[in-house]
Structure 1
Amino acid sequence: MVNTYLRPAGQTAVKYFILLTGYCCMFTFAAVMISVSLLRGLYKTVEEKCRHE
């Protein structure tokens, strides 16, 4: 049913939309992982400083 509505231009648009969504998801996931690792490192350093004092 969906294929009847989609013209070739529509199919390419859908392909690009899926590609963009995938890239956005990957970028967001990478950013979250980086920020989480940075926060963990920051937390560890702060914890060590508090222990030394």
Structure 2
Amino acid sequence: MGGFSEWTRAKDPGKLSAAIETKITAQAEYVVWRDGVVAHLERGVQASDLY
């Protein structure tokens, strides 16, 4: 099943907190990046032109 067992086995709450913060930060950065790509595509800029 996964997921829940990793939470219950966490031995160091500080490391768990840091891991959660890292994951949420990375997800937020992806959302900001993705929103920029979508905005360009909506204006007619091709995705290949962004790189």
Which range, TM-score by smaller chain? Answer: 0.5 to 0.7
**Structure 2 unaligned regions, length at least 5:** 1-10, 46-51
State the distance in 2 between where 1:22 and 1:15 align.
11
| Deviations 1:1-53 (CA, angstroms, capped at 9, x unpaired) | xxxxxxxxx4xx1000000000001000000000000000000016xxxxxxx
User: What percentage of residue pairs aligned between the two structures are identical?
Assistant: 9
- 1:38 counterpart SS class: helix
2:41 corresponding residue in structure 1: 42
Gaps of 5+ in 1: 1-9, 47-53
Rg larger in 1 or in 2? 1
User: Superposition RMSD on alpha carbons, in Å?
Assistant: 1.3
Indicate the structure with greater helix content. 1
- Which has the higher relative contact order, 1 or 2, with Cα contacts under 8 A spaced 6 or more apart? 2
| Number of equivalent positions | 35
Q: Which 4+ residue blocks in structure 1 deviate beyond 6 angstroms?
A: none
